[in-house]
Homo-oligomer: A and B are copies of this chain.
Amino acid sequence: MIAAASECRVSLPPVIEYDADRADLPLVVVPVSIPSMTTLLRDRLDEFAGLARVRIHTDWTDDEDVLAARMSDATVVMSTGFRASARLLERIAGRVRCITFCGTGAVSFIDLEAARRLGITICNAVHYGDNAVAEHAIALMFEHTHRVGELNARTHQGGWPGADITELSGRTLGIIGLGGIGRRVSRLAHGIGLRLLVWDRHPDAAELAALNAESAATMDEVFSRADIVSLHLALNDATRGIIGPAQLDLMRPGALLVNTARAELIEPGAMLRRLSRGDIAAAIDVTAPEPLPDDDPLRTLPNLIITPHVAWRSDRALAALVEQNVRSAVEFLKGGAYNVLV
C-alpha cells in the first residue's frame, strides 16, 4: 500500500492549489501523493467548489516533521498511504478533524485508537480494488506456474533458457476468507478451471454452489489439501497471527501460499521458517513491515515471489478509490458521513 519510490512519467508541479484565495473556506490537504493519484485527484477538484480550498503536495516523504507541517492548517487530510502514528496524530489533532484513507485496511497505516481518542474521523474506501487485487492473486499464481517474468528477465539477458512449466487448471485452490476479494478470486479461478476449497467463518452456500466450490470444515483442512492456499481475510484482533507453523506445516510439498491480504495474518517469522525448508513456495504482495528492509532474509529466498504491495494500484482501482475518498471528504465538509470507519 505504501507508495514510496513511485515511477513518475508525468511532470507535475510540487504543489497544486485549488481556490487558494478563498481563505474563508476550510483547507483540504493531500500531504504526499503519487503521480497517478495526483492526476485523478486534480480532475475531481471541482467537487470541492464552495466547500473547501485544496492543496496537493505531489511528492512523497515519510518525514513526520514535514508531514505535520504540511497538515498544520488542514481541516481534512486525504491520505495516499503515509503512516499516521499516535504521535503524528497528536501533533495535528485539534485542527485536523477528518482523514480519508486510500484503501480498506486503514488499521495498518493509521493508529485508529489514537484517532478515536483525539476525535479525528477516519474514512476508508471499500471494494474499490476487489478485482485488481483478485487479478493480482491470479497473476502471482501464474508467475509460479508459467514463470513468465523470470524467463523474460533471463531471455533479455541473453541465451535461451529452456525450462519446464506447470499448469493452473485442475489444481485445487484453497480460499481462506470469502469476502469481496476472496469471492472475486474464486470467480476468476473457477473461470480458468481451478477446483475450489473454501474456508470462511460464515460460508455462503449459494455462492459456494455457484462456484462449484467445496466448503472446508476447518482452515487446517484447506492447508492440508490444497495445491494453492490464497489468503483473503481482513486484519483485525481475531485474525492477527491466525496462521502459524501448525497450518504451514500442513502444506504439501510443491504447494504454493499466496498472500495479497496482510502479512500480519501469519505469525511473525513463521513463513520464512517454513519456506526455508524449500519444499513449498509462496507468492506475496504484502510484508511486515512495509517497505521490507533491504536486509530482510525474505528477499533472498528463491522460492518466494514478492511484489511491493501494488495489487491495489490498478488504473481502475485508483479511480474508484479517489472517487470514494473525495466523496468522503466532501460529505464530511457538508456535515455528512460516507465510509466512516472511526
Q: Enumerate chain B residues within 8 angstroms of A308, measured Cβ to Cβ.
A: 151, 155, 160-163
Q: Enumerate chain B residues within 8 angstroms of A132, measured Cβ to Cβ.
A: 165, 167
User: What is the 8 Å Cβ interface bit string for chain A, positions 195-239, against chain B (1 contact, 0 not)?
Assistant: 000000000000000000000000000000000000000000000
Q: Enumerate chain B residues within 8 angstroms of A153, measured Cβ to Cβ.
A: 149-150, 153
When chains A and B are docked, how far (Å) is the Cα of A193 from the Cα of B131?
Answer: 10
The answer to whether A135 and B299 touch across the interface, beta carbons within 8 angstroms, is: no
Instruction: Tell me, rounded to whole Å, the shortest Cβ–Cβ distance linking A41 to chain B.
Output: 15
Instruction: Tell me, rounded to whole Å, the shortest Cβ–Cβ distance linking A140 to chain B.
Output: 6
The answer to whether B162 and A5 touch across the interface, beta carbons within 8 angstroms, is: yes
When chains A and B are docked, how far (Å) is the Cα of A333 from the Cα of B2?
Answer: 64
User: What is the 8 Å Cβ interface bit string for chain A, positions 306-330, against chain B (1 contact, 0 not)?
Assistant: 1110110111111000000000000
When chains A and B are docked, how far (Å) is the Cα of A94 from the Cα of B88?
Answer: 85
Instruction: Tell me, rounded to whole Å, the shortest Cβ–Cβ distance linking A265 to chain B.
Output: 20
Q: Enumerate chain B residues within 8 angstroms of A139, measured Cβ to Cβ.
A: 142-143, 145-146, 148
Q: Using A139-B146, A146-B139, A307-B151 as known contacts, say yes or no to A164 and B36 having CB atoms under 8 A apart.
A: yes
The answer to whether A192 and B138 touch across the interface, beta carbons within 8 angstroms, is: yes
| Neighbour of A166 across the interface among B140, B170, B294, B315, CB < 8 A | B315
| Neighbour of A294 across the interface among B4, B136, B159, B188, CB < 8 A | B159
The answer to whether B313 and A164 touch across the interface, beta carbons within 8 angstroms, is: yes
Q: Enumerate chain B residues within 8 angstroms of A190, measured Cβ to Cβ.
A: 191
The answer to whether A160 and B313 touch across the interface, beta carbons within 8 angstroms, is: no
A147 at the interface (CB under 8 A from B): yes
Instruction: Tell me, rounded to whole Å, the shortest Cβ–Cβ distance linking A187 to chain B.
Output: 8
Instruction: Tell me, rounded to whole Å, the shortest Cβ–Cβ distance linking A313 to chain B.
Output: 5
